[in-house]
Amino acid sequence: MNLHLTNHVAVVTGGASGIGRAVAECFAAEGARVAVWDVAETSDPNVLALRVDVTDRESIAAALQQTESQLGPVEHLVHAAAVGSGKFGFPFTNLTPDDWPRVLEVNVLGMVNVAHAVAPGMRERKAGTMVFLASVAGQIGSQTDPPYSASKAANINFAQCLAKDLAPHGVRVSTVCPGMVQTPLNRSVWQAWHDSQPDEAKRSYEDWAAEKIRNVVPLGRWQQPEDIADMVVFLSSPRAANVTGQTINVDGGFVMHW
């Protein structure tokens, strides 16, 4: 399917690895000019790689200026930058209030910062898209990592606020919620669980994840970063011109609403 994205300019935060990298590669495959904003180095020669901390508004402003001077006005934003607490949060008392601020700063205020940076230009041009990577954890109150779950719920809610505010200006905003995806963040959840278990209860990542998938994913298989990227780039394209304010799950049926 031709998504009509040739020479469009897209920014992907958190695009150095995992789902963000898959999104950047998918945009590039569609002919878009892509900037990756990440605190980590990006090795992909097909993108403009910029070191950006989404909690630092000056860093974002500098990256926006550099992106637009080298690639052109930003037409599409995909915000995939996120962190977890690094701890296994069931029960929530396994964590302390000190485990929350960094997650909320990156996952919630990072979203706020990039939205404030790119929205004025999109609004002025009367065109643009934003897609925010949330999680099924933000819909079901996942106990695995309460700060992460709460931050993803905030992502969904703020994206709906943005969608309502920006719709009159021709800017579309939606959220994509991955389910079980093999990423460094997913593996870190297992590691936190594993480290908290007595020796006799410890299990390999493969065994732990396979049982979880059997129990909660109706399609019975991992979602791949490319699965999420396909949905994100479709929502960013003119093919989804009448879609905004939506929360789309790419989760193998993990979360169903009826």
- pLDDT, tens digit, for every residue of 27-71? 999 999 999 999 999 888 889 999 999 999 999 999 999 999 999
Report how far residue 134's alpha carbon sits from residue 175's, in angstroms, rounded to the nearest whole number: 6
Quote the pLDDT of residue 212: 82
Q: Active-site residue among 37, 88, 148, 234?
A: 148
Quote the pLDDT of residue 103: 96
Identify the residue whose tokens are 């709906």. 160
CATH topology of domain 9-181+225-245: Rossmann fold (3.40.50)
Quote the pLDDT of residue 34: 98
Report how far residue 252's alpha carbon sits from residue 138's, in angstroms, rounded to the nearest whole number: 16
Question: Is residue 205 annotated as part of the catalytic site, yes or no?
Answer: no
Per domain, the residue ranges of the chain are: 9-181+225-245
Report how far residue 54's alpha carbon sits from residue 113's, in angstroms, rounded to the nearest whole number: 7
Report how far residue 196's alpha carbon sits from residue 71's, in angstroms, rounded to the nearest whole number: 47
Q: What is the pLDDT of residues 68-106, one digit of tens each?
A: 999 999 999 999 999 988 777 678 888 899 999 999 999
